[in-house]
Amino acid sequence: MKTIACAYILCESNPIFTTKKNKGNSLYVGTTADWNQRIQKYQNPNPKSNELITKMRKHSKIKKAEMIKQFDMMNVAFRLIKSKNFIDRQYREEVESYLIKRLNPLLNLAKRDGIFERNYKKFVLKKKSKPKTTFETYKEDCEGYFGDWYWSRDDIGDTETIYHPTKRMYVSRSSCAGEEAESIQFSRKEQTWFWDTNKLQLKYELWRTNKTKWEKELKFR
Protein backbone atom coordinates (compact mmCIF):
# COMPACT_ATOMS: atom_id res chain seq x y z
CA MET A 1 0.00 0.00 0.00
CA LYS A 2 1.39 3.41 -0.99
CA THR A 3 2.59 5.66 1.81
CA ILE A 4 0.67 8.95 1.94
CA ALA A 5 2.34 11.91 3.66
CA CYS A 6 -0.26 14.58 4.33
CA ALA A 7 -1.88 17.12 6.57
CA TYR A 8 -5.41 16.13 7.56
CA ILE A 9 -8.54 17.67 9.00
CA LEU A 10 -11.15 15.75 10.99
CA CYS A 11 -14.57 17.41 10.79
CA GLU A 12 -18.07 16.71 12.02
CA SER A 13 -20.45 16.04 9.14
CA ASN A 14 -23.30 17.30 11.33
CA PRO A 15 -22.17 19.67 14.10
CA ILE A 16 -22.79 18.36 17.60
CA PHE A 17 -19.70 19.39 19.54
CA THR A 18 -18.27 22.01 17.17
CA THR A 19 -19.57 25.56 16.82
CA LYS A 20 -19.17 28.49 14.43
CA LYS A 21 -15.82 29.17 16.13
CA ASN A 22 -14.54 25.90 14.63
CA LYS A 23 -14.58 26.68 10.91
CA GLY A 24 -15.87 23.89 8.71
CA ASN A 25 -16.97 22.00 11.85
CA SER A 26 -13.30 21.13 12.36
CA LEU A 27 -12.52 18.82 15.26
CA TYR A 28 -8.81 18.24 14.83
CA VAL A 29 -5.91 19.03 12.49
CA GLY A 30 -2.81 16.89 12.30
CA THR A 31 -0.04 15.61 10.02
CA THR A 32 1.46 12.23 9.31
CA ALA A 33 4.13 10.61 7.19
CA ASP A 34 1.78 7.67 6.56
CA TRP A 35 -1.97 8.27 6.49
CA ASN A 36 -2.76 4.56 6.11
CA GLN A 37 -1.26 3.92 9.54
CA ARG A 38 -2.62 7.06 11.15
CA ILE A 39 -6.24 6.48 10.15
CA GLN A 40 -6.23 3.20 12.06
CA LYS A 41 -5.82 5.22 15.27
CA TYR A 42 -9.13 6.94 14.51
CA GLN A 43 -11.04 3.91 13.25
CA ASN A 44 -10.35 1.63 16.21
CA PRO A 45 -13.77 0.37 17.40
CA ASN A 46 -12.56 0.26 21.02
CA PRO A 47 -13.33 3.72 22.50
CA LYS A 48 -10.40 3.40 24.92
CA SER A 49 -7.97 2.91 22.04
CA ASN A 50 -9.51 5.40 19.59
CA GLU A 51 -7.21 8.42 19.50
CA LEU A 52 -9.92 10.93 18.59
CA ILE A 53 -12.26 9.77 21.36
CA THR A 54 -9.33 9.99 23.79
CA LYS A 55 -8.80 13.61 22.74
CA MET A 56 -12.52 14.27 23.26
CA ARG A 57 -12.31 12.92 26.81
CA LYS A 58 -9.35 15.17 27.59
CA HIS A 59 -11.01 18.29 26.22
CA SER A 60 -11.90 20.69 29.04
CA LYS A 61 -15.50 21.18 27.86
CA ILE A 62 -16.22 17.57 26.90
CA LYS A 63 -15.39 15.42 29.90
CA LYS A 64 -18.81 14.11 30.92
CA ALA A 65 -19.28 10.44 30.09
CA GLU A 66 -22.83 10.98 28.83
CA MET A 67 -21.57 13.58 26.33
CA ILE A 68 -18.85 11.28 25.04
CA LYS A 69 -21.45 8.56 24.45
CA GLN A 70 -23.09 10.91 21.92
CA PHE A 71 -19.91 10.94 19.86
CA ASP A 72 -20.14 8.84 16.71
CA MET A 73 -17.14 8.24 14.43
CA MET A 74 -19.61 7.79 11.57
CA ASN A 75 -20.22 11.53 11.90
CA VAL A 76 -16.55 12.31 11.25
CA ALA A 77 -15.27 13.24 7.79
CA PHE A 78 -11.58 12.91 6.92
CA ARG A 79 -10.09 15.57 4.64
CA LEU A 80 -6.54 15.09 3.35
CA ILE A 81 -4.19 17.76 2.01
CA LYS A 82 -1.42 16.15 -0.05
CA SER A 83 1.79 17.52 -1.52
CA LYS A 84 5.01 16.01 -2.78
CA ASN A 85 6.71 18.51 -0.46
CA PHE A 86 5.17 16.86 2.59
CA ILE A 87 8.07 14.44 2.66
CA ASP A 88 9.64 17.34 4.62
CA ARG A 89 8.33 16.87 8.18
CA GLN A 90 8.97 20.49 9.13
CA TYR A 91 6.95 21.71 6.17
CA ARG A 92 4.07 19.41 7.11
CA GLU A 93 4.13 20.98 10.57
CA GLU A 94 4.23 24.45 9.04
CA VAL A 95 1.07 23.73 7.03
CA GLU A 96 -0.52 22.10 10.08
CA SER A 97 0.12 25.26 12.09
CA TYR A 98 -1.39 27.41 9.35
CA LEU A 99 -4.52 25.24 9.24
CA ILE A 100 -4.94 25.30 13.01
CA LYS A 101 -4.70 29.07 13.07
CA ARG A 102 -7.13 29.39 10.15
CA LEU A 103 -9.72 26.84 11.25
CA ASN A 104 -9.47 26.92 15.07
CA PRO A 105 -10.34 23.21 15.42
CA LEU A 106 -11.99 22.17 18.67
CA LEU A 107 -9.37 19.73 19.93
CA ASN A 108 -6.05 21.40 19.01
CA LEU A 109 -4.74 23.11 22.13
CA ALA A 110 -1.46 24.41 20.73
CA LYS A 111 -0.08 26.27 17.72
CA ARG A 112 -2.87 28.81 17.30
CA ASP A 113 -0.61 31.86 17.13
CA GLY A 114 2.17 32.93 14.85
CA ILE A 115 2.74 33.61 11.17
CA PHE A 116 3.32 30.61 8.89
CA GLU A 117 4.71 30.23 5.40
CA ARG A 118 2.59 28.10 3.04
CA ASN A 119 4.77 28.41 -0.07
CA TYR A 120 7.35 25.59 0.05
CA LYS A 121 10.11 27.46 -1.79
CA LYS A 122 9.76 30.42 0.58
CA PHE A 123 9.63 28.01 3.51
CA VAL A 124 12.92 26.37 2.47
CA LEU A 125 14.61 29.77 2.11
CA LYS A 126 13.31 30.84 5.51
CA LYS A 127 14.46 27.58 7.09
CA LYS A 128 17.97 28.00 5.67
CA SER A 129 18.23 31.55 6.97
CA LYS A 130 17.18 30.65 10.51
CA PRO A 131 19.00 28.64 13.15
CA LYS A 132 17.63 25.13 13.67
CA THR A 133 14.79 25.04 16.16
CA THR A 134 13.54 21.94 17.89
CA PHE A 135 11.42 21.29 20.94
CA GLU A 136 14.63 20.51 22.85
CA THR A 137 16.19 23.89 21.99
CA TYR A 138 12.88 25.45 23.01
CA LYS A 139 13.02 23.77 26.43
CA GLU A 140 16.62 24.93 26.86
CA ASP A 141 15.59 28.50 26.03
CA CYS A 142 12.71 28.28 28.51
CA GLU A 143 15.06 27.06 31.23
CA GLY A 144 17.30 30.05 30.52
CA TYR A 145 14.40 32.49 30.93
CA PHE A 146 13.32 30.84 34.16
CA GLY A 147 16.89 30.72 35.47
CA ASP A 148 17.42 34.44 34.84
CA TRP A 149 14.29 35.20 36.87
CA TYR A 150 14.81 32.59 39.58
CA TRP A 151 18.41 33.40 40.49
CA SER A 152 17.78 37.16 40.48
CA ARG A 153 15.12 36.85 43.19
CA ASP A 154 15.88 38.55 46.50
CA ASP A 155 13.65 36.27 48.56
CA ILE A 156 15.83 33.15 48.33
CA GLY A 157 19.41 32.24 49.20
CA ASP A 158 19.73 34.30 52.38
CA THR A 159 19.60 31.41 54.85
CA GLU A 160 22.53 29.38 56.19
CA THR A 161 20.69 26.10 55.64
CA ILE A 162 18.50 24.70 52.89
CA TYR A 163 16.15 21.73 52.82
CA HIS A 164 17.45 18.78 50.78
CA PRO A 165 14.45 17.04 49.16
CA THR A 166 16.07 13.62 48.75
CA LYS A 167 17.96 13.55 52.07
CA ARG A 168 14.84 14.94 53.80
CA MET A 169 16.85 17.15 56.09
CA TYR A 170 18.30 20.64 56.26
CA VAL A 171 21.93 20.97 55.16
CA SER A 172 24.41 23.81 55.07
CA ARG A 173 23.76 25.97 52.02
CA SER A 174 27.48 26.41 51.41
CA SER A 175 28.19 22.66 51.43
CA CYS A 176 28.20 20.27 48.45
CA ALA A 177 24.88 18.90 49.72
CA GLY A 178 23.58 22.47 49.84
CA GLU A 179 24.52 23.08 46.22
CA GLU A 180 22.84 19.80 45.29
CA ALA A 181 19.70 20.83 47.20
CA GLU A 182 19.59 24.17 45.36
CA SER A 183 19.91 22.36 42.03
CA ILE A 184 17.13 19.91 42.87
CA GLN A 185 14.80 22.66 44.07
CA PHE A 186 15.50 24.76 40.97
CA SER A 187 14.88 21.83 38.64
CA ARG A 188 11.58 20.93 40.29
CA LYS A 189 10.30 24.50 40.27
CA GLU A 190 11.41 25.02 36.66
CA GLN A 191 9.53 21.89 35.61
CA THR A 192 6.37 23.06 37.41
CA TRP A 193 6.72 26.47 35.75
CA PHE A 194 7.15 24.88 32.30
CA TRP A 195 4.40 22.25 32.49
CA ASP A 196 1.77 23.78 34.81
CA THR A 197 2.21 27.50 35.54
CA ASN A 198 2.64 28.59 31.91
CA LYS A 199 1.83 25.32 30.11
CA LEU A 200 4.74 26.12 27.82
CA GLN A 201 4.60 22.66 26.27
CA LEU A 202 1.66 24.04 24.29
CA LYS A 203 3.42 27.25 23.18
CA TYR A 204 6.36 25.96 21.15
CA GLU A 205 4.94 27.24 17.86
CA LEU A 206 4.27 30.67 19.32
CA TRP A 207 7.89 30.85 20.52
CA ARG A 208 9.09 29.67 17.11
CA THR A 209 7.07 32.15 15.07
CA ASN A 210 6.28 35.12 17.32
CA LYS A 211 8.77 35.25 20.18
CA THR A 212 7.87 38.81 21.15
CA LYS A 213 4.28 37.78 21.88
CA TRP A 214 5.54 34.64 23.61
CA GLU A 215 7.72 36.71 25.95
CA LYS A 216 4.87 39.09 26.80
CA GLU A 217 2.68 36.17 27.88
CA LEU A 218 5.27 34.67 30.26
CA LYS A 219 4.37 34.48 33.94
CA PHE A 220 6.87 33.47 36.60
CA ARG A 221 4.47 32.84 39.48
Is 1 contained in some domain? no
Mean pLDDT in residue range 68-78: 84
Contact between 118 and 129 (Cβ < 8 Å): no
Give the domain extent around 22: 6-128
Q: Based on the fold, state whether residues 155 and 116 are members of the same structural domain.
A: no
pLDDT of residue 132: 66
Whole-number percent of the chain with pLDDT over 70 = 92
Among 110, 128, 146, give the residue marking a domain's end: 128
Parallel/antiparallel/unpaired status of strands 26-32 and 6-12? antiparallel
Q: Based on the fold, state whether residues 80 and 143 are members of the same structural domain.
A: no
Q: Based on the fold, state whether residues 29 and 63 are members of the same structural domain.
A: yes
pLDDT grade for 90, boundaries at 50, 70 and 90: confident
Q: Based on the fold, state whether residues 188 and 150 are members of the same structural domain.
A: yes
Q: Based on the fold, state whether residues 44 and 149 are members of the same structural domain.
A: no
Q: How far is the C-alpha of 30 from the C-alpha of 83, rounded, in Å?
A: 15
Question: CB burial class (10 A; 0-12, 13-18, 19+) of residue 121?
Answer: exposed
Q: Based on the fold, state whether residues 37 and 10 are members of the same structural domain.
A: yes
pLDDT of residue 140: 87
pLDDT in tens, 168-215: 899 898 888 888 888 888 889 999 999 999 999 999 888 988 888 999
Q: Based on the fold, state whether residues 109 and 187 are members of the same structural domain.
A: no
pLDDT of residue 104: 92
Q: Based on the fold, state whether residues 12 and 64 are members of the same structural domain.
A: yes
Is 162 contained in some domain? yes
Mean pLDDT in residue range 4-12: 95
Whole-model pTM: value is 0.62
Is 40 contained in some domain? yes
Q: Based on the fold, state whether residues 35 and 97 are members of the same structural domain.
A: yes
pLDDT in tens, 153-166: 877 777 888 889 88
Contact between 27 and 12 (Cβ < 8 Å): yes
Q: Based on the fold, state whether residues 114 and 195 are members of the same structural domain.
A: no
The number of domains in the chain is 2
Among 78, 104, 128, give the residue marking a domain's end: 128
Among 79, 97, 128, give the residue marking a domain's end: 128
Q: Based on the fold, state whether residues 13 and 117 are members of the same structural domain.
A: yes
Rounded to whole angstroms, what are the CA distances from 83 to 118, 123, 143, 204? 12, 14, 37, 25
Mean pLDDT in residue range 133-156: 85
pLDDT > 80? residue 86: yes
